[in-house]
Amino acid sequence: MINKIQKVKAEVAKVVVGQEKMIDSLLIALLCEGHILIEGVPGLAKTTTVNALSKALGLNFKRTQFTPDLLPSDILGAEIYDPQNNQFKIKKGPVFTNLLLADEINRAPAKVQSALLEVMQEKQVTLGDTTFKLDPPFFVMATQNPVEQEGVYQLPEAQLDRFMLKLIVDYNTKEEELEIARRISSGSSGEINAVLSADELVEIKKNIASIHVDAEVEAYMIELVNATRNPKEYGLEDIEEFIQFGASPRVSIDMFKAVKAMAFMRGKDFVTPIDVAYIAKELMRHRIVLTYEAEAEGVTTDEIIQKVLETVAIP
């Protein structure tokens, strides 16, 4: 089954150059039935990647551009009156898909964000008196543009906590950008083929659930999370003043699932501390609330997490 994952990555690589961390994170979130928030400047192939991934997996894909005038019904759907039949009928919105790209999610007002939050958590939509269960898998990839700050709404901590991973996407290397320009200018990007069926996806999830995690590695993950809440216990007094709230309990739950998926994608049947370190920042960076002192001194959550990783003893 690991070969199937490699085939999926090979298909995505036909149209996406580099960005291996983004592709890995998308696959981890999908395999763990989580959601992912991606932050990066425009033009880094965020939309292209998730579209290519949906094609390689044979899943439905829809994209919604979030704007300040968006309404909850624009993403959920609504009851529409049919004058010919003198009755209301249901018009389903773009959330009725497998992979939903919520582009620039922080541009939408609170009502829209809370509507999406319910769908992400419950994986169901209520329209009128009818509740519809979404067909699995349902996966939200939301993007944020860190450059523009005008006309955006900061995502509340409760919503950020629902995202399994938050990924910071950076520019490609010079060599990768040269390859991208050559491909686009020559029109030589390959066609994406579906290489993984829904049944095979279910089988992979079963394999991931059975991956072994040693008791010492489990304890290590809990220590990492606890160190963000009680840094003084770990000799991290220098970062205590920068943390207002440590990582939430959802981090522990998501970490236990994500590291298994990480190990599986590396072709192993057991989890090592390396798997934990590879994904730790993506799991925690959006779930730690910093103090005003941290903001004033330019301290980031990534720096806090790095200090914790360097301090907590590795089993």
Domains observed in the chain: 2-186 (3.40.50.300), 211-311 (1.10.8.80)
Q: Let me know: does 138 contact 98? Beta carbons within 8 Å.
A: yes
pLDDT surpasses 90 at 222? yes
- Give the pLDDT confidence of 238-290 residue by residue, as tens digits: 888 888 888 888 899 999 999 999 999 888 889 999 999 989 999 999 888 88
DSSP letter for 234, please: G
Report the phi/psi class of residue 305: left, alpha or beta, with left for phi > 0 and alpha for psi in -120 to 50: alpha
Closest CA to 165 of 70, 273, 32, 10: 32
Q: How confident is the model at residue 223 (pLDDT cuts 50, 70, 90)?
A: very high
Q: How far apart are CA 216 and CA 200, in angstroms?
A: 31
pLDDT surpasses 80 at 22? yes
Mean pLDDT, residues 186-212: 81
Q: How far apart are CA 90 and CA 35, in angstroms?
A: 26
Q: How far apart are CA 57 and CA 166, in angstroms?
A: 22
- Give the pLDDT confidence of 105-132 residue by residue, as tens digits: 888 877 888 888 888 888 888 887 778 8
Locate 238 and state its tokens.
Answer: 């220098």
pLDDT surpasses 90 at 174? no
Q: 82-114 burial string, b = 16+ CB within 10 Å, else e?
A: eeeeeeeeeeebbbbbbbbbbbbbbbbeeebbe
φ and ψ at residue 147, rounded to 5 degrees: -80, -50
Strands 289-290 and 243-245: antiparallel
Q: How far apart are CA 224 and CA 284, in angstroms?
A: 10
Which pLDDT value is given to residue 137? 84
pTM of the model: 0.85
Q: Locate all alpha helices (DSSP H) within the chain, ordered by sequence.
A: 2-12, 20-31, 46-57, 72-76, 110-122, 157-160, 174-186, 198-209, 215-229, 237-240, 249-265, 273-284, 292-297, 301-311
Q: How far apart are CA 311 and CA 32, in angstroms?
A: 28
Q: Let me know: does 17 contact 183? Beta carbons within 8 Å.
A: yes
pLDDT surpasses 70 at 55? yes
Mean pLDDT, residues 6-19: 80
pLDDT surpasses 80 at 25? yes
Q: Which residues pair with 87 in a beta bridge?
A: 82
Using a pLDDT cut of 70, give the percent of the chain over it.
96
CB neighbours of residue 187 within 10 Å:
6
Closest CA to 71 of 36, 31, 113: 113
